[in-house]
Amino acid sequence: MSNQLEKVKELIALREEARLGGGEKAIQKQHERGKYTARERIAQLLDEGSFEEIDMFVRHRCYNFGQEKKSYLGDGVVTGYGTIDGRLVYVFAQDFTVFGGSLSETMALKICKIMDMAMKMGAPVIGLNDSGGARIQEGINALAGYAEIFQRNILASGVIPQISGILGPCAGGAVYSPALTDFTIMTKGISYMFLTGPKVVKTVTGEDVTQEALGGATVHSQKSGVAHFAAEDGEETLRIIRKLFSYIPQNNLEEPPLVECNDPIDRLEDSLNEIVPDSANHPYDMYEVINAIVDNGEFIEIQREYAKNIIIGFARFNGQAV
């Protein structure tokens, strides 16, 4: 019996160690940058107490460049499933405190496992990205890991919703995958998406460019159209994901959730009679038209800053998402 107790104690101690990721110092550094840790983000995103973690004790298996001396439980990504408003969702959150969130062979295996489970269950997959790209010490194995992830992005496309939150600097392989997903939410000030950083650009083209100008939230939400939302901070990014999630179905065979509607079906909106001006040269506000006809004036706009000559987004009519 005492042997069993010891094993349980050992397990509890290992869990505590795994929850620390790269250690107290690294967590402190992350907080100083105005960023949350992977586990804090998951706690904010999912319903309280709903998260079930998978592969908590995975370690990398790389022996090159002295990597065997440094290994952390979980290997830089927290994966699992939980619920948002009671609906099943699969999540992976990269942990910047472990090797800068860089992708190793084992991290890729963990992410792929979660994506496979999401496909099997017909549930959305949400990636919280905060990564420096491939783990350079693992060379081709890390890159092969990316290939596996991209393959699943493609297979899942149009089958289950894929949402990416960009919550830190993402470079190289770490941005190809989010760009393949359905929705990308970037965080202003702390997140970047570029294939190679400013230093490489300087070496190759001799051009001086800042991280912000190369791949900041503003560039991607206004010029390139890669980001569908630009949030003010990490908390808002997660709030947007939760809100967006309420408008979309679990998979391609289901309907989006119906929301109880207290908006009378025969409601008259007299303002619509005056909104369109008599003169064709006069502009009018399309947002006013949308807000007047949708349920409770609630409209969530996609790509607000990009191609401003058209408005797209989600709303509800009689509780049904459109």
- In this prediction, the residues of the chain whose per-residue pLDDT falls under 70 are 1, 21, 58-64, 66-72, 74, 138
Secondary structure class of 97 (helix, strand, coil)? coil
For residue 316, the model assigns a pLDDT of: 92
For residue 66, the model assigns a pLDDT of: 62
Quickly count: other Cβ atoms within 10 Å of residue 11's Cβ. 11
For residue 15, the model assigns a pLDDT of: 78
Q: Could you give the domains of the chain?
A: 2-245 (3.90.226.10), 271-321 (no CATH)
d(CA 3, CA 138): 38
For residue 61, the model assigns a pLDDT of: 67
At 87, list the tokens: 């609906």
b/e map of 142-160 (b: 16 or more CB within 10 Å)?
Answer: bbebbeebeebbeebeeeb
For residue 72, the model assigns a pLDDT of: 67
Whose structure tokens read 């119906």? Answer: 258
For residue 74, the model assigns a pLDDT of: 64
Which neighbouring-strand residues pair with 166? 129, 186
Cα angle 315, 316, 319; round to 5: 160
d(CA 166, CA 263): 36
For residue 80, the model assigns a pLDDT of: 94
d(CA 204, CA 267): 62
For residue 239, the model assigns a pLDDT of: 93
Contact partners, residue 155, CB within 8 Å, separation at least 6:
119
Tell the burial category of 6 from Cβ atoms under 10 Å away from its Cβ (0-12, 13-18, 19+). Answer: exposed
- Write the pLDDT tens digit of every residue in 185-200: 999 888 888 888 788 8
d(CA 250, CA 264): 28
For residue 240, the model assigns a pLDDT of: 93
d(CA 163, CA 45): 12
For residue 71, the model assigns a pLDDT of: 66
Secondary structure class of 94 (helix, strand, coil)? strand
> What is the value of pTM for the model shown?
0.89
The dihedral of CA 129, 131, 133, 135: what is its sign? negative
- Enumerate the H helices of the chain as residue ranges: 2-19, 24-32, 38-45, 105-121, 140-156, 173-180, 198-205, 211-215, 217-219, 234-245, 271-275, 286-293
Phi and psi for 278 in degrees, rounded to 5?
-65, -40
